[in-house]
Structure 1
């Protein structure tokens, strides 16, 4: 049985997230998804949805067999417990594949690292969705696009 681990923040689920998880699931027999903890998201704006809600949404997706929150202090702890054959990264995740492979080897983990290409849609990122909402629905208190009253 081939175990695959996918990781991410999964804030404001969108087609790009689903594509990433579907492509990850195609690589193995069982897909585990590690959802980033709110406190650990430091490389981009804090998530809009709290971690427990993001976890619940990811668990509800068809390609996902198991979903769990990441560890607050050691990102490799859940990976060591799952012992995956493959770890997938999204096209825009900030990990360097070779550095990640090295860190895994240092922990005695022999998982392949695979980068999943981006979803070919225009709204395949939470930040683009937020930008579109602000531009088309306006800021609070306005009646039109952002800045128009």
Structure 2
């Protein structure tokens, strides 16, 4: 993890995280058709099967991410976002490594995610592939969608 970054569990009550997530949802609405938008709002993220973290550089919120429990051995990454001013500084990698470590700690054997397939999402595709994620079929409640890319990371039990 980058020096100075802190990843903390977040209860989603702060103004800053609400603003970052609203920017995330606004971007998803601008780039994905309504039927292909799977980003969760604050209420959607405040579910017992979702753990949410925020990333801070000092006292500045620079990113976030969440892990949703799909089953006893399968998790889904939700709401990965790096603030515009922090892109290219390793915030996304730090958050992703944190989520992968938590998935392993929970004993998951698979970690999946859905992201957009459009050019806007290419930086996310590169991030996930750099960390070992590969394409997979739709999972959980998702269906085939040309606007979605489904990725997974197979985790070994220690």
Structure 1-normalised TM-score?
0.29
- With CA pairs under 8 Å and 6+ residues apart, which has the higher RCO, 1 or 2? 1
Structure 2-normalised TM-score?
0.28
Bigger strand fraction:
2
